[in-house]
Amino acid sequence: QRQCDVLCCYRLNRLHRNLKNALKLMKLCQKYHVHILSVHDGYFDMDKAFDRLKLNIFMSLAELESDNIGEQVKNGLREKAKQGKLITTHAPFGYHYQNGTFIINNDESPTVKAVFNYYLQGYGYKKIAQYLEDDNKLITRKPYQVRNIIMNPNYCGRVINQYGQYNNMVPPIVSATKYEHAQAIRNKKQLHCIPSENQLKQKIKCPCCDSTLTNMTIRKKHTLRYYICPKNMNESRFVCSFKGINAQKLEVQVLATCQNFFQNQQLYSKINNAIHQRLKKQRVIEAKSTLTQEQLIDKLAKGMIDAESFRKQTHLMNQKHKTISSISDNQLQTSLPKVIP
């Protein structure tokens, strides 16, 4: 309110191509007496009913145009797929795109074949990634990339997209029989997959690299549950010094801490006060930041600084604001010991 008089754009369809959202924008502009100026479509006074009607018509036509373009693109892609042509230029590992089709990459395809061979021998994603790393003739792949190779039907010449399944559209790197066998092994493993019982999943961080810990369950004679660093799961070898922690022991400790927290009102009050003090400091800093922003705008308007200097200083200010806008775990950890004896 009172911060903007005219909203400028090149074309009205750049504002919104959804009529519902466009009407919301119109009502907002009308409420605050902000007029719309389009380089291509002209000036619209939002206080005049006739201009609002014209704007409504333009917005309706923009949505119709957008829908027609989307429908034509879908029909074109569907027809292209029926003709046996690829609808993407993004070639997966093992291929490169050339003249409308995928061509086998002779440097990468041996790695794809090795991945399928190792998987059919019973090795898991992580072990296969280690074998690839140890073989100088093959290209290193991470465990999740090994998984993607095994799941991709392109490698047996098959293309599956939203318009159907098409065979022999690309040259195969492995046979269809080998691909189907790999999928059967993978599906069999998934049948025995049991949901994790870990109660703190996606809630605790790695003490070494600050990644969100993931679950791992070992089922042999006795079921053992752990929280481990995902970096060690996603790489072929250990890259984080934190190996893992017993889930059951950690959950018992967390439960005891929570019970103590809710039962001890004095502790709750101290923590609550520490958080409010931090929030109060943050609001003071944000108020100073707002004032500085207004000063920059004033300097730009008076010609004391150019647009490039304004952009750089605003960017630096926003970076500082992002740094202080959230109360991180580390900030709380440094504040809480001061109030908790």
Instruction: Dig out the tokens for 70 from the structure.
Output: 């989307």
Q: Which one, of 254, 201, 251, 265, lies nearest residue 228 by Cα?
A: 201
* Residue range 275-280: mean pLDDT, rounded: 84
Q: Are 128 and 148 in contact (CB under 8 A)?
A: no
Q: Which one, of 329, 341, 339, lies nearest residue 271 by Cα?
A: 339
Q: What is the pLDDT of residues 104-145, one digit of tens each?
A: 999 999 999 999 999 999 999 989 999 999 999 999 999 889
Q: Are 128 and 147 in contact (CB under 8 A)?
A: no
Flag whether pLDDT at 327 surpasses 50. no
Most confident of 129-133, 232-236, 241-245: 129-133
Of 263 and 7, the structure prediction assigns the larger pLDDT to: 7
Of 104 and 88, the structure prediction assigns the larger pLDDT to: 104
Flag whether pLDDT at 170 surpasses 60. yes
93/270 Cα distance (integer angstroms): 56
pLDDT, residue 236, reads 66
Q: What is the pLDDT of residues 53-71, one digit of tens each?
A: 888 888 888 888 888 888 8
Flag whether pLDDT at 1 surpasses 70. no
Give how far Cα 123 sits from Cα of 115, 126, 310, Å. 9, 8, 58
Q: Are 293 and 240 in contact (CB under 8 A)?
A: no
Q: How confident is the model at residue 340 (pLDDT cuts 50, 70, 90)?
A: very low
pLDDT, residue 341, reads 45
pLDDT, residue 339, reads 45
Q: Are 102 and 159 in contact (CB under 8 A)?
A: no
Flag whether pLDDT at 216 surpasses 60. yes
| pLDDT, averaged across the chain | 81
pLDDT, residue 320, reads 63
What is residue 341's DSSP assignment?
A: -
Look-up of token digits 């002209």: 42
pLDDT, residue 337, reads 52
Q: Which one, of 238, 239, 201, lies nearest residue 217 by Cα?
A: 201
55/40 Cα distance (integer angstroms): 13
Q: Within a 10 A sphere around the Cβ of 86, how many other Cβ atoms?
A: 19
Of 120 and 333, the structure prediction assigns the larger pLDDT to: 120
pLDDT, residue 180, reads 94
Q: How confident is the model at residue 210 (pLDDT cuts 50, 70, 90)?
A: confident
Beta-bridge partners for 225: 217
Instruction: Dig out the tokens for 314 from the structure.
Output: 């605003």
Flag whether pLDDT at 232 surpasses 80. no
Q: Are 107 and 173 in contact (CB under 8 A)?
A: no
Q: What is the pLDDT of residues 301-326, one digit of tens each?
A: 777 777 777 778 777 777 665 555 44
Of 327 and 17, the structure prediction assigns the larger pLDDT to: 17
